[in-house]
Structure formats: C-alpha cells, structure tokens
Amino acid sequence: MRGLMMDSIDGRHVEGLDEAYAVPVPPATRSWQPVSNKQFVEEVRDQSSMLGLPIYSEQYGLASKDQQLFGVITFDTGQEDNGLAIGLRNSYNKTLSLGITSGASVFVCSNLCFSGDATRVIRKHTRYVWRDAVRLIHESIEWSQFYYDQINEDFAIMKGQSMTNDNGYDLIGRALGYEVLKPQQATVAMREWKNPSHEEFLDRNTWCLYNAFTEALKKGCGGNRMEKQAKAHQFLMAA
C-alpha cells in the first residue's frame, strides 16, 4: 500500500495546489504557530531538488473542513515498482503536528496513518516551528536518498543470491516462527513462492522470495504495513 488515501466522509483529493494554498492561514497565538500550506509544500519541493530526480507525480488532499493538508510527492527513479516518495501533512486547526515522511514505500491517509520506511519526522506547531522544520526537512530528504541507495544495493544482492525451493520453504517457516509473518500471510507467501502471480518473479533467488513476502504483507492491517515490510527486509538480509 503506497500513496495518498483520503477518507471519503471527511477528506477529498484536490486537483491542484492552488486550492490548498487558498485556505486562509489562522492567526498565531502565544503557544501555537501555524505554518502555511504554501510555505511548507514549496520548501519540501525546493529542498527535494538535492535528490537530482524529477518529480513523477504529486497527490494532495484536504480534510477536516479543509483545515488539514495531506500530500505525497513521488520521484521518477526509472524503477516503477521501487520509487522514492515524500509524504507530508499539516493542519490549521491544531489537530496535527507538522509531519514529513519518506522512503521507497510511503503511505499517507486522512485517517492519520502516516508512514514511510526511511524517515518519519513530527514537529509541533510551537515557537520556532519553522526554523526547526527547515532543518528537519533537509535531514529527512538527505536520509531518504541514503536509504534509497542502500535498499537498492540490498535488492541487487538479493537478485544475485540463488535459492532452492527448500530454502524458500525453510525461510517462510522461520518467518512465521519469528512473527515476521502471521499464519495467513505465511500461507500467501508460500503460494507466491510456489506459483508467483507475476512472471518476473519466477526465478529462484532471494529477490523473488522477498516479493513473495511483499505480496503476503498486503494481508492484514495497513496501518503498520511499513514497519512489517522493514522487518521482513531485515529478516531476509540477515538470513
């Protein structure tokens, strides 16, 4: 599960940033300092230029009577199934802290699910919020590039590691024992290892088993999907 999801009851996607920028910014108080949607989004977009990657797509949404902003910026890495994305959120009604998350798998939802497998930074709208936000945005984007390079090195290693059917069966069983996979997920992983749904994963190597795990992890709670995916990644690299 990746990208932006808006609750149809309380949230909606917006076609362009002008609508998000047009929402009036409320006045600050002694203990609360708002950050405008325009200031926040433009800073993320400007700093993301350090990645050296063109923007592939942008998704934005508003919720809570347009007082909450959510967004996902996806970059063109030339790899359709393994992109790099940055998620962000902001609010004008004191319900959400300023947030930025990043990684190869980013999920942002108006039900407050906010996750990425590289970084996740939250900053309250208190004094000096913008000073700190600029630094945190920079650090998050910088780390996301390091993480993305590292994970692609891991994938290259996986693709070069041959594996027998028995190796796959053994690792799926161990993943169940170590609670990397739940019973239903282990069943899906076993099925995908035996008969992959996608032709490109027919080879017998760690990369194909990894994708069997990925299919399996689509079953279950979406809220902690990224954490489970990271745990599966670490498990297979250690194995």
Torsion of CA 157, 159, 161, 163, to 10 degrees: 150
The residue that leads in pLDDT, 223 or 148, is 148
**In the chain, what percentage of residues exceed pLDDT 90?**
58
Instruction: pLDDT band for 226, please (50, 70, 90 cuts).
Output: low
Q: How far apart are CA 57 and CA 161, in angstroms?
A: 33
The predicted model scores a pTM of 0.73
pLDDT for res 137 = 92
Ramachandran sector of residue 3 (left: φ over 0; alpha: ψ -120 to 50; beta: rest): left
pLDDT in tens, 132-160: 999 999 988 888 888 878 878 888 899 99
Q: How far apart are CA 124 and CA 122, in angstroms?
A: 7
